[in-house]
Structure 1
Amino acid sequence: MKKLSEYSTTDVAELTKDGKYVLFFQAGWCPDCTFIKPEMPAIEQEYGEYQFVDVDRDKFIDLAKELKIMGIPSFVVYDHGQEIGRLVNKDRKTKAEVESFLDSLA
């Protein structure tokens, strides 16, 4: 999973305009983020039609505010620049919950 800081732009509209993207908002200090992080490679592999982008909420706090990310870990999904779904709350997320969320977007 590439980090947002590795892309040439941090403008979400520009970044997501070509293809399907899952923005994964997390922070290193967050225990619930640490809980789901080991599952992310398997989720990425299962949902290969998406490009997953790791967004450090603390480094990109203005983006988190703009997208109304009120809790982490959170997922915001785009298809060619249009937001098509979000799993944004303060709850711990399991692999099954993330997969069910992504399945609901198909």
Structure 2
Amino acid sequence: MKELKSMTEFQQAVEDNGSVFMFSAGWCPDCVVIEPHLPDLEKSFPQFTFYKVNRDHFIDLCQELNIFGIPSFLVYKDGVEVQRFVSKDRKTKEEIEAFLKEATEK
């Protein structure tokens, strides 16, 4: 998983054929719970490039995209958001897998 460092990187990644953005923060306990599952998810969905977005470093982007709970996930294809899993609730590996499976069909 690549960690975004700038808005330019975000804008370039959005234009890819399939990008998954995980919005999180180091202080977020629900984000820490899901972290160990991310390598498996990346292997299971090789059609996507996965990016980590630190909410604290990209607060303006989070506000613009209505990301008010973390961890949250957005999927973009060719510059268009095709799927979102945004809430303040803890997410399970199974829920994220289902979300990503649905996103592959779009």
Alpha carbon RMSD of aligned pairs, Å? 1.4
1:9 to 2:8 alignment: yes
Task: Report the secondary structure of 2:16's partner residue.
Answer: coil
- Structure 1 pair 59/101, CA: closer, same or farther in 2 (3 Å)? same
Whichever residue aligns with residue 19 of structure 1, its letter is N
Alpha-carbon distance in structure 2 between the residues aligned to 1:69 and 1:61: 9
Aligned to 1:66: 64
Count of residues in Structure 1 that have an aligned counterpart in Structure 2: 104
Which of 22, 27, 30 is the equivalent residue of 2:28?
Answer: 30
Whichever residue aligns with residue 43 of structure 2, its letter is Q
Q: How much identity, in percent, do the aligned residues show? A: 48
- Structure 1 pair 62/8, CA: closer, same or farther in 2 (3 Å)? closer
Structure 1 runs not aligned, ≥5 long? none
Using structure 1 for the length normalisation, give the TM-score. 0.92
Task: Report the secondary structure of 2:15's partner residue.
Answer: coil
> What CA deviation, in whole Å up to 9, does each residue of 1:47-100 have, x standing for no partner?
010000000000110111111001000000001110000000000011100000
Question: Which is worse superposed, 40-49 or 14-23?
Answer: 14-23
Q: How does 1:86-101 map to 2 (within 5 A)?
A: 86-101=84-99
Aligned to 1:56: 54
> What CA deviation, in whole Å up to 9, does each residue of 1:7-40 have, x standing for no partner?
681443x332131000100000000000001100
Whichever residue aligns with residue 9 of structure 1, its letter is T
Structure 2 runs not aligned, ≥5 long? none
Using structure 2 for the length normalisation, give the TM-score. 0.92
